[in-house]
Amino acid sequence: MEVFDYSFDNLAKLIKGFTEKLHIGRYSLYLMDYGAPIGFRLAEKHPERVEALIVQNGNAYKAGLREFWDPIRAYWQNPSSANAAPLAGFIAPAGVKWQYTHGVRDAEKISPDNWNVDLRHLTRDGNASIQLALFYDYQNNVPHYPAWQAYFRKHQPPTLIVWGKNDHIFPAEGAYPYRRDLKNLRLHLLDTGHFALEEDGPVIAGLIREFLRSELPAR
């Protein structure tokens, strides 16, 4: 049985193959969290396929990697069991719930179904090692940042940023630098956390509709 090597390069190849299998030649990308480095790989490699970008708490600048990343950076430097131990909390029940509720206006309105469904998958046999592999491989996204920024400057894709500004994982400091490289950019910082759709889904949906109607009127 072939073993899949969990890396962002391989995940990008998987998604690229999926779009090509379905003969999707043009698309807009919604980029969030781990999906951002996957989508930016696709955009950099095939800019002619990208009609627009929608970025929601997805990083492409070093300024967006702050103190949350310190224990992960320690693991990058030395992937020992001692440095892996603190990372287990990110996929434990309390840690997953925290990702959904930290920084929101009203945690009581966030459905527990979110973290319970996530945990059902995160606690499958073998998943802990997969998550560790992705934590470790995330360091390989950082050297790509200059190339992704060059892609922004050269190709200028219409871009909408809808960012939960209270996110501790990908804080708002990662949203502002896009303004340096993108001319056709709409930036909205929302008073919510990491999973901004959970609290501001209707707001974000409305902004996306307006953005796409304006930038891709023929669609």
Q: Where are the domains of the chain?
A: 8-215
Confidence of residue 52 (pLDDT cuts 50, 70, 90): very high
Span 12-34, pLDDT tens digits: 999 999 999 999 999 999 999 99
Per-residue 3-state assignment (H helix, E strand, C coil) for 108-146? HHCCCHHHHHHHHHHCCCCHHHHHHHHHHHHHHHHHHHH
Active site residue 23: no
**162 DSSP assignment:** E
Question: Is 218 a residue whose pLDDT tops 80?
Answer: no
Q: How confident is the model at residue 219, as a pLDDT?
A: 60
Tokens of 27: 């698309």
Confidence of residue 1 (pLDDT cuts 50, 70, 90): low
pTM score: 0.95
Confidence of residue 217 (pLDDT cuts 50, 70, 90): confident
Which one from 46, 102, 188, 194 is the annotated catalytic residue?
194
Span 53-62, pLDDT tens digits: 999 999 999 9
Residues 69-97 have a mean pLDDT of 97
Q: Which fold has domain 8-215?
A: Rossmann fold (3.40.50)
Q: How confident is the model at residue 3, as a pLDDT?
A: 82
Kindly list the strands in the beta sheet with 159-164, ordered across the sheet, starting from the edge strand earlier in the chain: 27-31, 50-55, 159-164, 185-190
Tokens of 175: 């949203």
156/140 Cα distance (integer angstroms): 24
For the chain, percent helix, then strand, then coil, each to nearest 5? 60, 10, 30
